[in-house]
Amino acid sequence: MLAFALRRLFVSVPILIVSTFVVFVMVSLSANPLSPLIQRSPPPPPRTIELERIRLHLDQPILERYWHWITGVLSGDFGPSVQSNMNIGHEVISRFGVTLRLIVLAMVVALILAVIIGVISAARQYSKFDYTATFFGFLFLSMPSFWFAIVLKQIGISINTGVGDQIFYTIGSSSIIVTGGAWAHFTDILGHLVLPTISLALTSYAAWSRFQRASMLEVLNSDYVRLARAKGLPRWTVTRKHALRNALIPLTTVTALDIGSILGGAVVTETVFQWQGAGTFLLDAIKGSDVYAVEAWLLIAATFIILLNLIADLLYGLLDPRIRYA
């Protein structure tokens, strides 16, 4: 297993390096960081523009700029920001910390729902439960993430207004003032996670549960499962020990491929619920033509996606030992 993990790790590192170069070139060519300064009225002196150009390393060739940037990233320096008083590294990491707790919790909830509902739907094919799960699956699948988030926010506001108390948190990732110790801060953060997590998890679970159902049906109709049943093994034992493990492999693949869309959905969800997370950081950087801030965001996002895909590769080896010996 260790050799399998090392092989996958060695493959992931070149992918990350190539992705950083492609991202750097594309972002550098797509925007001019000096635009906000040049468009000021009255315009600043040419000397000011030239000094800002030197500070942002725009006087260097793009390959030299990339080399300085990537070597700086290794030492924790993500480059100069258009806002001279902002440390890009500290800001983007703290913002991603806020966003990752939403993504991780939403993925865990979505996976648990997808596996449970997908397995039960396959085991009870064409039952009332199967039809009900299919209906709600397609319903959540057809909902745009931003629209569903807005609807949930409005429902939360209506419930708070109706009961005259704060039942659901609809703005921000945490309260400005929290009285109490660590437990009070934890419950406050957890309360702010409820509606955004429901929004992101249900839109993700809908597709995953359909994949899990289809995969489970295929495995349940395979020869080795029929043989296990013919031996007299209990139905639940056959489903849990023999069928579920192999049926999880396609779901692992789909989950790894959907990581990018989940991250994009988190950006939209954060905007709706007014979180100061990675989503608002990216939007502010794009509006301000802050090239290095955009590159830092995309670098961390690429690292996150590659890391989770690496975890998915390792899960393949755990679910099916034949994969790691291939």
pLDDT tens track for 126-177: 899 999 999 998 888 888 888 899 999 999 999 988 888 888 888 888 887 7
Question: Tokens for 187?
Answer: 């419950």
Among the listed ranges 5-14, 160-169, 205-214, 279-288, which one has the minimum average pLDDT value? 5-14
pLDDT in tens, 34-90: 887 888 878 788 888 888 888 888 888 888 888 888 888 888 888 888 887 888 988
pLDDT at 218 over 80: yes
Cβ atoms < 10 Å from Cβ of 53: 15
Give one DSSP letter per residue of 170-206, joined into a string. Answer: -SSSS-S---SSHHHHHHHHHHHHHHHHHHHHHHHHH
Q: Which two tokens stand for residue 86?
A: 């902002």
Q: How far is CA 277 from CA 81, 106, 299, 306, 315, in A?
A: 18, 15, 16, 21, 29
DSSP assignment of 207-236 equals: HHHHHHHHHHHHHHTSHHHHHHHHTT--HH
User: Above 90 in pLDDT, residue 274?
Assistant: no
Residue range 200-217: mean pLDDT, rounded: 88
Q: What is the CATH number of domain 91-324?
A: 1.10.3720.10
Taking the CA atoms of 163, 179, 274 and 144 in sequence, report the sign of the dihedral they define.
Answer: negative
Q: Which of 171, 193, 186, 205 is nearest to 280 (CA)?
A: 171
| Percentage of the chain lying above the pLDDT 70 cut | 97
- Rounded distance between C-alpha atoms, residue 10 and residue 326, angstroms: 17
- What DSSP letter does each residue of 87-131 carry, written as one string? -HHHHHHHHHHHHHHHHHHHHHHHHHHHHHHHHHHHHTTTSHHHH
Cβ(120)–Cβ(220) below 8 Å:
no
Answer for the pair 309, 256: CB distance below 8 angstroms, yes or no. yes
Token pair recorded at residue 163: 């009961």
